[in-house]
Amino acid sequence: MEHFTPVQALVGGLLIGTAATLTLWTSGRIAGISGILAGSLFLKGQEAFWRGLFLCGLLLGGATYSLFNSGLEIETEATPLMTILAGLLVGFGTRMGNGCTSGHGVCGIARFSRRSLVATITFMMVAMLTVWVIRHV
């Protein structure tokens, strides 16, 4: 069941944009989640610290939302194996595409990066094709 409201979408977009802007201004880094996560696993010191804080903020944001909205309702028809396979494919795609949707779609396009524009168009086209295949084939 869909519960889309324009106000929630606007607030969410403003929060994402603010986080991306603050990350760029305060650390000089792009707020691409896959890059932040990978860096937090392999880097040490100050680099790992800010990345850890950013990731904790993502988790706390979801936890806060669930507190004020009587939990998170997650429905899926996928088996655990399919979920794991999908996650691995997404991870492979982010490495192959040199970034994820947040890095390219939110931050890259805002910086007028042609590479990010092409990557985001590719993400969206593949997502639309995937939905069409799953629903109609």
Distance CA 76, CA 36 (A): 27
Q: What is the pLDDT of residue 16?
A: 87
Residue 80 domain-assigned (yes or no): yes
Q: What is the pLDDT of residue 115?
A: 93
Whether 1 shows a pLDDT value over 70: the answer reads no
Q: What is the pLDDT of residue 45?
A: 80
What's the farthest any 2 CA atoms get from each other in the chain? 50
Whether 2 shows a pLDDT value over 70: the answer reads no
Residue 1 domain-assigned (yes or no): no
Q: How far is CA 66 from CA 4, 49, 56, 81, 127, in A?
A: 16, 26, 15, 26, 27
Q: How far is CA 62 from CA 11, 53, 73, 105, 115, in A?
A: 14, 14, 12, 21, 30
Whether 21 shows a pLDDT value over 80: the answer reads yes
Residue 85 domain-assigned (yes or no): yes
Q: Average pLDDT in the 25-51 region?
A: 84
Per residue in 67-119, pLDDT (tens digit) is 888 777 778 888 999 999 988 888 888 888 888 888 898 888 888 999 999 99
Residue 55 domain-assigned (yes or no): yes
Query: Across the chain, what does the average pLDDT equal?
Result: 86
Residue 24 domain-assigned (yes or no): yes
Q: Average pLDDT in the 115-130 region?
A: 92
Residue 90 domain-assigned (yes or no): yes
19 touches 11 (CB < 8 A)? no
Q: What is the pLDDT of residue 61?
A: 86
Domain residue limits at 79:
6-136
Domain count across the chain: 1
